[in-house]
Amino acid sequence: MTVTPGGSDAVAEGGQMIAALYRAVLAAGRAARELALAERHDRLAAEGSKRNTAWHTELADRHRSTAHCHITASRLQYSFADGVVSWFSNRESRRPLFMSGVADACGTRSAALTLLGADLTQLAVAASDVRSGEAQDLEYILSEGPALDAARSGRRVSASGTAIERRWPSYGCGLSELGIDSVIALPLTVSSSCIGALTLFDPPLRAAERDSGSFREVAEALAKSILLGPEADPDLYGNTDHRATVHQAAGSLSIQAGCTVTDALDLIKARAFSEGKPSAEVARRVLSGELKLN
């Protein structure tokens, strides 16, 4: 297949496609090596003593688990590359987002990834669509929701129907207004440390009820290979919002109002919640001088 760039955007997208294919091939190669090691330890387990058998079996399981992580990462990279190819052939279609492939892999159309600091402060977010982006911004504004709970507990969190509002009153009410009826969040864990969470919105009922192994594999691939791996891309091909505008506005407002940056950020979040607007939109109005909060 030949791709003919048509402008700077096309060149950038072409570079992203090549990068995604490169990462997909490398991840597939790592998976193959891990599977080979797993098979080697399986053979040694079969040939060894009882004590050695247990040790080799454990190592085989570890290598096999790592292989599955790389396989999933490879599939996600290939999915994004395919999306870029489709966009090249039909520019009227939506530009590809890495998180759209993540949502597809989990059997839902809406998914969001949240990166959190050690104090669970939301550092950045990447969403598959407008709805999931609004839902994650709502959690950012309210400081309550499934991603925070999943990161705090280190376990999968799920709720649907009226249980959402019982568990997170303000957040749950906001989700209902977005037309979201169920949610699942999984922690993104690396070496026992949680770096964030993957949240799925309105996953199919069957997917939510069955064993969530596929969800865990996607979360592990994101944490261990895509976000922090050897060829990591935390920006997810430009799909990650680091909330630079909000933090810039908070810094500016803190000077104007003579308050701390934390208090200024709370003011921005409160105004966003009261107006039902995204935090970034309120921040832009603060920076332009259109909105005075002090």
Neighbours of 279 (CB within 10 A): 22
1 confidence band (pLDDT: 50, 70, 90): very low
Domain-embedded: residue 102: no
Task: Give the type of residue at 213.
Answer: G
At CA 280, angle to CA 276 and CA 286, rounded to 5?
Answer: 95
Domain region containing 22: 8-96
Last residue of a domain, one of 191, 218, 235: 235
Same domain, 154 and 82: no
CB 74 within 8 A of CB 81: no
Reduce the DSSP state of residue 198 to 3 states and report it: strand
Reduce the DSSP state of residue 52 to 3 states and report it: helix
Same domain, 58 and 172: no
Q: What is the rounded (10 degree) CA torsion for 27, 114, 237, 75?
A: 30
pLDDT of residue 188: 95
Least confident among 48-62, 112-126, 156-170: 48-62
Report the domain count for the chain.
Answer: 3
Q: What is the pTM of this model?
A: 0.86
Same domain, 231 and 248: no
Domain-embedded: residue 273: yes
The residues, any chain, with a CB within 8 Å of residue 5's CB and separated by 6 or more, are 11, 14
Strands 157-160 and 240-241: unpaired
Domain-embedded: residue 148: yes
Q: Give the pLDDT confidence of 228-283 residue by residue, as tens digits.
A: 888 889 899 999 998 888 888 888 888 888 888 888 888 888 888 888 888 888 88
Same domain, 181 and 158: yes
Domain-embedded: residue 104: no
Neighbours of 215 (CB within 10 A): 24
CB 112 within 8 A of CB 126: yes
